[in-house]
Amino acid sequence: MKREAGGDSDRAGEPTRPVPAARENGAPGAPRTAAVPAQRPQQSPGAPRPTGGAPVRQGAPARPGAPRRTGARRVRLTVSRIDPWSAMKMSFLLSVALGIALVVMTVVLWTVLDAMGVFDQVNGVIGQVVESDGQQFDILDFVGFTRVVSLSIVIGVVDVILFTAIATLSAFLYNVSSALVGGVNLTLTDD
C-alpha cells in the first residue's frame, strides 16, 4: 500500500483504508488499491468527541463489563441541615398567601350566605324565640360585612407572624436534632 502524494497535511496521523483505484491499461486481474485517509463520521455539534482509541458509542456502559441497569435508579440522600433564613422566607411567603386566601374566602362565603338569605332567616328564627319589648334582634350587628372582613384580616396577620416564627424555630430545632441523630434519610427514584 502506498500513500497518495499531496494529501492534506492535517490528516497526516489519521488511519487509512484501501480504496480501489482504476485499472492500468485495462489489464485484467486484481484491481490496484491506494491508501487514502479514512473519512470521519458526521457528528452533531453537541455530541462528545472521542479522545482517541475506539469511537464512543451512544448508550454504551461507562465501564467495560459493567452490568446495564434496566429498572429505575434509586438514590439515597440525607437531609442534614435546613437553613433557618430560607425556612423563614419560604414560610413567610406561604403564610402571606394563606392569609390572603383566608380573607378572600371569608368575603366570598359572607356574600354567598347573604345572597341566599341566611341572615334574614336567622333573624326571623331568633326573633320568634326571643321576643323582647320593642327591640328587634339583628344578627348583622354581630356578623356584619365590615366586622367579618376586619376580623379575618387580623387573623391572617396573626397567622403570618405565628407561622413564620414556628417554621424558623422548627428549622433551628431540626438542625440541633440532626446534629445528634444524623438527619432524615430520603430515597429518590426516577420513575
Alpha carbons 146 and 144: distance in angstroms, whole number: 6
Average confidence (pLDDT) over 54-62: 55
DSSP 140: G
Residue 101 lies in a domain: yes
- Is residue 5 in a domain? no
177, part of any domain: yes
What is the predicted pLDDT for the residue at 1? 46
Alpha-carbon distance values, 6 to 3, 13, 38, 98, 120 (Å): 9, 14, 16, 78, 104
- Which residues, at least 6 apart from 65, have a Cβ–Cβ distance to it below 8 Å? none
Distance of CA 60 to the CA centre of its chain: 28
Q: How far is CA 5 from CA 13, 17, 20, 24, 138, in A?
A: 14, 15, 16, 18, 109
Per the structure, the complete domain to which residue 98 belongs is given by 83-189
**Residue 57 in domain:** no
Neighbours of 101 (CB within 10 A): 11
pLDDT value at position 65? 72
Q: Give per-residue pLDDT as tens, 8-47.
A: 545 555 566 665 555 555 555 555 555 555 555 565 555 5
Beta-bridge partner residues of 188 = 75
Q: Is residue 62 part of a domain?
A: no
Q: Is residue 9 part of a domain?
A: no
CA distance 64 to 66: 6
**Three cell numbers written together for 20:** 480501489
Average model confidence (pLDDT) for the chain?
78
6 domain residue, yes or no: no
What is residue 127's predicted lDDT score, i.e. its pLDDT? 75
Predicted local distance difference test score (pLDDT) of residue 81: 93
In a domain, 50, yes or no: no
Q: What is the pTM of this model?
A: 0.55
Count up the domains in the chain and report the number. Answer: 1
